[in-house]
């Protein structure tokens, strides 16, 4: 049964990633109504929300866009920073949504930030602990449960990420619409791009949960 779930999650993940790439490529060719670039959008959205201590900068790579609360920077990939497309506007507004969450003390974001050190440790050690736990299951079953506990932290983190990402997208679409950045034709495009991006986090969380149940089943079968 667990393998059927894994296969279903993998197929769903492939479908969502393929659709997301297709939609972003499509909307990257649609110019924003006012010709504003991703960098323009981020700076304007920050300014209208009264945030003056966040820097918008360009970073290398594709899909490397993120907000860093440590140094208060919105990092936009080169294809977003200087692009005046609907896709770039949507991505920039989404990342700025995270900056607004941080400024307003959005509770799920605070919780996620608090878990970062624990999850970083878990990510760096969990694979080795799980591997050793499976190899030494007959002699030292507690080690596998330690690995399961570490993996559970990463699963919890992926589910806490969901409301953070969804809320940032909601903020982005509402602001783009309210500020008149998008019109009746382009608003659905921006919303659609962010919707498919959010689906990737949903599938990642479900995949992590399925993997957690898999390791739990291994531990229980050897009791």
Instruction: Flag whether pLDDT at 63 surpasses 90.
Output: no
**Segment 164-213, tens digit of pLDDT:** 999 999 999 999 999 999 999 999 999 999 999 999 999 999 999 989 99
**Segment 151-168, tens digit of pLDDT:** 999 999 999 999 999 999
- Report angle CA 191, 187, 20 to the nearest 5 degrees: 35
As beta bridge partners, residue 31 has 85
SS (H, E, C) 144-198: HHHHHHHHHHHHHHHHHHHHHHHHHHHHHHHHHHHCCCCCCCCHHHHHHHHHHHH
Instruction: Flag whether pLDDT at 222 surpasses 80.
Output: no
CA–CA separation, 128 and 21 (whole Å): 33
The radius of gyration computed from the CA coordinates of the chain, to the nearest angstrom, equals: 20
Report domain extents, the chain: 2-221
- 3 state DSSP class of 63: coil
CA–CA separation, 50 and 100 (whole Å): 9
Q: What percent of the chain has pLDDT over 90?
A: 80
Nearest residue to 80 (alpha-carbon basis) of 68, 96, 69: 96
**Segment 84-122, tens digit of pLDDT:** 999 999 999 999 999 999 999 999 999 999 999 999 999
CA–CA separation, 163 and 169 (whole Å): 10
pTM metric for this prediction: 0.90
Indicate which residues carry an active-site annotation: 95
């Amino acid at each position: 049964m667990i393998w059927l779930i894994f296969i279903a999650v993998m197929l769903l993940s492939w479908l969502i990633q393929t659709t997301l790439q297709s939609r972003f490529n499509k909307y990257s060719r649609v110019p924003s109504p006012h010709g504003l670039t991703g960098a323009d959008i981020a700076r304007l959205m920050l300014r209208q929300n009264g945030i003056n201590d966040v820097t918008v900068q360009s970073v290398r790579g594709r899909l490397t866009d993120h907000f860093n609360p440590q140094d208060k920077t919105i990092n936009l990939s080169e294809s977003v920073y200087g692009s005046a497309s609907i896709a770039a506007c949507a991505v920039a507004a989404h990342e700025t949504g995270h900056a607004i969450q941080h400024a307003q003390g959005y509770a799920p974001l605070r919780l996620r930030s608090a878990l970062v050190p624990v999850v970083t440790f878990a990510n760096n050690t969990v694979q080795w602990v799980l591997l050793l736990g499976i190899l030494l299951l007959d002699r030292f079953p507690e080690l596998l449960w330690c690995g399961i506990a570490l993996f559970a932290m990463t699963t919890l983190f992926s589910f806490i990420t969901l409301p953070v990402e969804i809320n940032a997208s909601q903020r982005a679409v509402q602001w783009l619409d309210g500020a008149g950045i998008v019109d009746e034709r382009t608003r659905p495009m921006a919303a659609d791009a962010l919707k498919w991006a959010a689906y990737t986090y949903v599938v990642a969380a479900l995949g992590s949960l399925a993997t957690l149940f898999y390791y739990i089943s291994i531990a229980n079968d050897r009791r």
